[in-house]
């Protein structure tokens, strides 16, 4: 069963507008972490933001925020004030458990974001 689902293969957003990239996940482990990565056309994977399952507040990092709805098992990434440099693939990922043999990191299929000038 797919553990991370990103339903938007591609999205367009106008420069300076906000955009939400969807991510839903599936786990029965009460302890887990959710991550978002950006992959520009150059290919490197850039970590953006993290949300822990026990965190009380939604994570924020600059223009990135995570809309975490635990009951719905969703962890959507919100990018405010989009810039041309935000055009990239975006991946949602999950790590279950607290480490050790459970520490594998599973990714979704990604969303390609294109920012229009």
Partner 1 sequence: DVKVTQSSRYLVKRTGEKVFLECVQDMDHENMFWYRQDPGLGLRLIYFSYDVKMKEKGDIPEGYSVSREKKERFSLILESASTNQTSMYLCASSLAGGRTEAFFGQGTRLTVV
Does residue 58 interact with partner 1 by CB under 8 A?
no
Torsion angle defined by CA atoms of residues 5, 12, 19 and 51, in that order, rounded to the nearest 10 degrees: 30
Out of 66, 88, 110, 115, the only residue in the binding site for partner 1 (CB under 8 A) is 110
Does residue 90 interact with partner 1 by CB under 8 A?
no
Torsion sign across C-alpha atoms 47, 109, 65, 117: positive
Out of 16, 47, 81, 116, the only residue in the binding site for partner 1 (CB under 8 A) is 47
**Sole window of 15-23, 45-53, 63-71, 73-81 interacting with partner 1 (rule: CB under 8 A):** 45-53
- Dig out the tokens for 87 from the structure: 């055009």
Sole residue written with tokens 């979704």? 108
- Dig out the tokens for 4 from the structure: 């991370």
Query: In the complex, which residues of this chain contact partner 1 (CB under 8 A)?
Result: 6, 9, 31-33, 35, 43-45, 47, 50, 52, 91, 93, 95-101, 103-110
């Amino acid at each position: 069963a797919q553990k991370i689902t990103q339903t938007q293969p591609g999205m367009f957003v106008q420069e300076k507008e906000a955009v939400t990239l969807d991510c839903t996940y599936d786990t029965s482990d009460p302890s887990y972490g959710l991550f978002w990565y950006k992959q520009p056309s150059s290919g490197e994977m850039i970590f953006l933001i993290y949300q822990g399952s026990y965190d009380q507040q939604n994570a924020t990092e600059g223009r990135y925020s995570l809309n975490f709805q635990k009951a719905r098992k969703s962890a959507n990434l919100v990018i405010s004030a989009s810039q041309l440099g935000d055009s990239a693939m975006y991946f949602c990922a999950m790590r279950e458990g607290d480490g050790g043999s459970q520490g594998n990191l599973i990714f979704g299929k990604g969303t390609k974001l294109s920012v229009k000038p």
